[in-house]
Amino acid sequence: MKHLYQKIYLTIIASLVLVVVVTGAIWRLDRGDSHNEPTLQIIGELVAIALPKPVVGQTDQKTAVMQLAQRLNIDLALYDENRTLVAATTKELPEPSLSRKKRIFGYGKPVWSFQLPDKRWIVAGITNPQHGSAAGLAGFLGGVALIIALCAYPVVRGLTRRLERLQTGVETLGTGDLAARVEVQGKDEIAQLAKSFNAAAQQIENLFASHRQLLANASHELRTPLARIRLGIELLKKETSSERQIELERDIAELDQLIDEILLASRLDVIQKLQTSEEIDLLALSAEECARYDSCWLHGEPVYVTGDPRLLRRLIRNLLENAAHHGKPPVEVEVKPNNGSVALNVSDHGSGIPESEWENVFAPFYRLPGSQNKSGSGLGLPLVRQIATRHGGSAVIARKPDGQTCISVTLPSV
């Protein structure tokens, strides 16, 4: 059997057959007749009164047996104390049983034998049993099993059909169709599995789309410094100028930084946890980076976070460079505790960021519309958010009480 629904369905059928067989066996092998002995004794007393005495001829005894059997609508057989047949209404009844077990099996209907007080034996059987035979019980249970089997098939098949659709979706995704999704039906575990598959497929599609966009934008951004470097080299062939060499070195540095940011962004996309983690004084780390700028004010108090010092240094540096390139001095940096976390706020005295663009500035290679400053790669703030996220924090644009906007990074405190 290669299909799951066949295994489940046959398991149900086998269970039903087993129930029928075991029930029938228990019914046939039941030895619980001992509790009927007082009843049989009372019946024996009554039958002994209804039948003539043994001294009466067999003809009279047979007549009495026939009348009693007709009155009770049962089959009867009378035997003497030596178990010799005296009279019987049918030849289908067995001889009396000498065992303690009063019921006799194997005759297709309920049959009992018991001894009368005068030592004679009576064998009685139900003439037309309606519900008492093993065959009737087995037939009834078999009918129930058949109904359950017919009702169970569509349920089992519907269950496995959803699994087959999920398998098809996985195979389609594996062929490269990242838009593959499966229909979610019901609220059981299979429905939850389908939802998880769709969420994973969506995440994979988003990741590939992000990488494609990153590569497309990176190729565009790389052309500008490369073109300037190529032009600078051609000019150096014709004239030797220290200014030209400085510009060429600046272009090479810009290209190197762009490549480094692209690689870092790609690496942060795939890593699950930080490779290095240690306790860091965020105020001291910010002071080291702020010392690189002339118009930079730092205030706050020592707070400690756990993380990668190299990545956190890059986070602070990107924030300061973004403020220096796109804002106006002085740049203000604030480090303070914030409800069990650490807040790092960086702002400048420029025109700020329109509220409609607060989320867009964290997209790779995005620049504000109408911006005159084209320096930078457009990866600074996206890297800030990626680094903050990898440290269990967040990076957002916020508005200060004085109306200026600032970039606020929140990190878990030690």
Question: Could you write out the DSSP letters of every residue in 177-228?
Answer: -TT------SSSHHHHHHHHHHHHHHHHHHHHHHHHHHHHHHHHHHHHHHHH
Mean pLDDT of 74-89: 85
pLDDT digits (tens, 9 = 90+) for 360-370: 888 877 777 76
Which CATH number applies to 278-412? 3.30.565.10
Predicted confidence at residue 131, as pLDDT, reads: 46
pLDDT digits (tens, 9 = 90+) for 145-155: 777 777 777 77
Residues comprising the chain, all counted: 414
In this model, does residue 236 exceed pLDDT 60? yes
pLDDT digits (tens, 9 = 90+) for 87-96: 888 877 888 8
Mean pLDDT of 123-135: 63
* Domain boundaries, given as residue ranges, for the chain: 31-129, 189-270, 278-412
pTM to 2 decimal places: 0.48
- pLDDT-derived band of residue 31, with 50, 70 and 90 as boundaries? very low
Lowest mean pLDDT among 17-21, 330-334, 382-386, 392-396: 17-21
Burial of residue 309, with CB atoms counted within 10 A of its CB: 0-12 exposed, 13-18 middle, 19 or more buried: middle
- pLDDT-derived band of residue 291, with 50, 70 and 90 as boundaries? very high
How far is C-alpha 363 from the geometric centre of its chain's CA atoms? 33
Which CATH number applies to 189-270? 1.10.287
Mean pLDDT of 400-409: 85
Nearest Cα neighbor of 303 from 268, 341, 265 is 341
- pLDDT-derived band of residue 238, with 50, 70 and 90 as boundaries? low
Mean pLDDT of 71-100: 80
Lowest mean pLDDT among 60-74, 127-141, 324-338: 127-141
Name the more confident of 379 and 127: 379
| Mean per-residue pLDDT of the chain | 78
In this model, does residue 56 exceed pLDDT 50? yes
The DSSP H or E segment spanning 81 is: none
Predicted confidence at residue 273, as pLDDT, reads: 72
- pLDDT-derived band of residue 302, with 50, 70 and 90 as boundaries? very high
In this model, does residue 63 exceed pLDDT 50? yes
Mean pLDDT of 3-7: 64
Predicted confidence at residue 288, as pLDDT, reads: 94
Report residue 393 as tokens.
Answer: 């924090």
Contact 356, 362 (CB under 8 A): no
How far is C-alpha 152 from the geometric centre of its chain's CA atoms? 24
Which CATH number applies to 31-129? 3.30.450
- pLDDT-derived band of residue 221, with 50, 70 and 90 as boundaries? low
Lowest mean pLDDT among 6-15, 185-194, 209-218, 226-235: 209-218
Predicted confidence at residue 125, as pLDDT, reads: 81
Gap between the Cα atoms of 209 and 248, Å rounded: 34
Predicted confidence at residue 138, as pLDDT, reads: 66
In this model, does residue 101 exceed pLDDT 60? no
Nearest Cα neighbor of 201 from 167, 173, 163 is 173
- pLDDT-derived band of residue 334, with 50, 70 and 90 as boundaries? very high
Same fold for the domain at 31-129 and the one at 278-412?
A: no
Mean pLDDT of 160-164: 79
In this model, does residue 281 exceed pLDDT 90? yes
Mean pLDDT of 223-234: 72
pLDDT digits (tens, 9 = 90+) for 172-197: 888 878 888 888 877 777 788 888 88
The highest-confidence range among 140-149, 170-179, 251-260, by mean pLDDT, is 170-179
Predicted confidence at residue 66, as pLDDT, reads: 85
The DSSP H or E segment spanning 170 is: helix 134-174
Predicted confidence at residue 32, as pLDDT, reads: 47
Mean pLDDT of 294-311: 92
Predicted confidence at residue 178, as pLDDT, reads: 80
Percent of the chain with pLDDT over 90: 17
Q: For 115-152, give the DSSP string.
A: E-TTS-EEEEEESS-SS-SHHHHHHHHHHHHHHHHHHH
